[in-house]
Amino acid sequence: MGRIPCCEKDNVKRGQWTPEEDHKLSSYIAQHGTRNWRLIPKHAGLQRCGKSCRLRWTNYLRPDLKHGQFSDAEEQTIVTLHSVLGNRWSVIAAQLPGRTDNDVKNHWNTKLKKKLSGMGIDPVTHKPFSHLITEIATTLAPPQVPHLAEAALGCFKDEMLHLLTKKRIGSYQMQQIGLTPVNTAATHVKHEDRDETIEKIKYGISRAIKDPETSPTNKPWDPVVAGSANFAGSCNAFAAPDSGFHYGLSSLVNEGNGSAWNQSMCPGSSATGDRQCQLDEKLEDENGQDWKGGKEMRDGATLFNSDCVLWDLPSEELMSPMV
C-alpha cells in the first residue's frame, strides 16, 4: 500500500500550462496568497493538481523571477557552489536572486557540465581529468596499472565521446597526444569510428602510463608529472576551441591561476589538507550536526548566513571531496 496520491489523477489536467491558466493562478495567488496548495486549484477554478500549481508558480509565475540567460557571474557562482555542495540545487539557487532550483539544475545539466567537460574538468569532482587519473594511478599497485586505462576509459568515456563526436579534432592535435588521426580527411568523427577511437584512446592512455619516456616531459615516471603533463596535454588538445573559454588546461593544472572562472572551475588538487578539513568542519557544526545531509543542509539561508562563510575561502581552494 503506497502513499495516497496528492490529487485525483483522473480529474486533473497535465502538461503545458496555457496563458489562461497562468492568469487564473496568478490572480488567485495575488489575492489570497499561497497558503494551501491543495485547495488553490479548486478555488482558482483550475483543473490542476496542487503540486503542479505550486511548481508553476515557484518556477515560472513568481514576479521576482529572472527569465533569460545566465550571466558569467551567475555561472561562476553555480560552479563554485557546486564544487562544494554538489547537487543541492535549492541551496545554490538561494544564492542567485531570481533563479529557481529548476533553472539552476537545467542550466547545469545542459550547459555547465559540458563546458567543464570540454575544458577537461570532471563536472562531478571539479578536478581535471588528469588529476583523477593520477589519483587512480597512485592508489594502484604496479601490477594493477594496466587496468587503469580500462578504468579511466570507463569513467571518462562519455565525456571523451562527446568531445570526439561534437568537436573538431585536427590531425595535428591527435598527433600531439600520441594518437593516429582517426580520419585526416574528415574532421568529424563518425559514429562507426567510435569503437576504433575508443581503442586508440585506451592505447594512448596505456602508453602514457606505462612509457613516460615518450611523453613530452621526458622525465622518469612520476604519477603526478605524468598525470599533469600527459593527460593535461591530452585534455588540452580536446578542449573545445569554440567553447568560449580559452583557458589552456595545462595552465589550469600546473599554475592554477587565471580568471575567476579558471579558479572556480578547476580547484584541482592544490587545496591543502588543512583547507579540506576546514571545509569538512564547516559541513559539520560543533554540535555534531551533520551538515552534509538532512534538512539543515537544505536551508541555504542557514548555511550561508552563518559565521562559516564559504565565500571567504579562495575559490581555488574550494575542492569537493571525491565522491
Amino acid identity at 322: M
Set of cell numbers at residue 88: 543541492
Q: CB under 7 A: which stretch of 75-83, 120-128, 133-141, 288-296 binds DNA?
A: 288-296
**DSSP assignments along 243-296, one per residue:** SS----HHHHHHT--SSHHHHHH--GGGS-HHHHHHHHHHTB-TT--BTTSHHH
Number of residues that bind DNA (CB under 7 A): 50
- Using CB under 7 A, which of the segments 199-207, 260-268, 290-298, 304-312 binds DNA? 290-298
User: What single-letter amino acid sits at 256?
Assistant: G
Q: How far is the CB of 57 from DNA (least distance, A)?
A: 9
User: Is residue 60 a contact point for DNA (CB under 7 A)?
Assistant: yes
> Is 111 one of the binding residues for DNA (CB under 7 A)?
yes
* CA–CA separation, 48 and 211 (whole Å): 64
Task: Rule CB under 7 A: say whether 167 interacts with DNA.
Answer: no
Mask of contacts with DNA, 242-281, x by CB under 7 A?
----------------------------------------
CB 300 within 8 A of CB 253: no
Least distance CB 290 / DNA (angstroms): 10
Least spacing, CB of residue 309 vs DNA, in Å: 20
Best CA proximity match to 318, nearest among 249, 283, 254, 272: 272
At 212, is the secondary structure helix, strand, or coil? Answer: helix
Residue with cell 579562495: 314
For binding to DNA (CB under 7 A), which residues are involved? Answer: 2-4, 6, 9, 13-17, 34-38, 49-52, 54-56, 58-60, 67, 87-91, 101-103, 105-107, 109-111, 114, 165-166, 188, 293-295, 298-300
